[in-house]
Amino acid sequence: MASVSASPTATAANKHVRATLAPEVVSVPPGRAFQVGLRLETEKGWHTYWKNPGDSNLPTRVRWTLPEGFVASEIH
C-alpha cells in the first residue's frame, strides 16, 4: 500500500465564514492516524459554535469526502 499525500491546506468559504483545513502531515503512511486543524475566520459581527449548538441551534459540522479506506472521527 502506498502513502497518501495531503494538501498543505484546503479552504472553503461562504458569505460569512472562511474555513481552512491544515493537516499535521503532508504524507500519510498506511495505517497511521493523524489530525487536521480547522481554522474558522468569521466576518465581523459573526461567530460560530463548536459542539454546543448555541443560539442558532447549529453546531460546527465538517462534511468529509475521504479516499477509500479513510475514516474521520468526531471533532475534538
The residue type found at 55 is D
As given in the structure block, the three cell numbers for residue 21 are: 483545513
Closest CA to 36 of 51, 19, 21: 21
> Which tens digits make up the pLDDT trace of 7-40?
556 778 888 889 888 889 888 888 889 999 988 8
Q: Provide the 10 A C-beta neighbour count for residue 71.
A: 7
> Which tens digits make up the pLDDT trace of 56-65?
777 888 888 8
* pLDDT score, position 43: 93
As given in the structure block, the three cell numbers for residue 14 are: 461562504
Q: In this structure, are residues 38 and 72 in contact, taking their beta carbons and an 8 Å threshold?
A: no
pLDDT at 6 over 70: no
Query: Where are the alpha helices (H) located in the chain, listed in sequence order?
Result: none
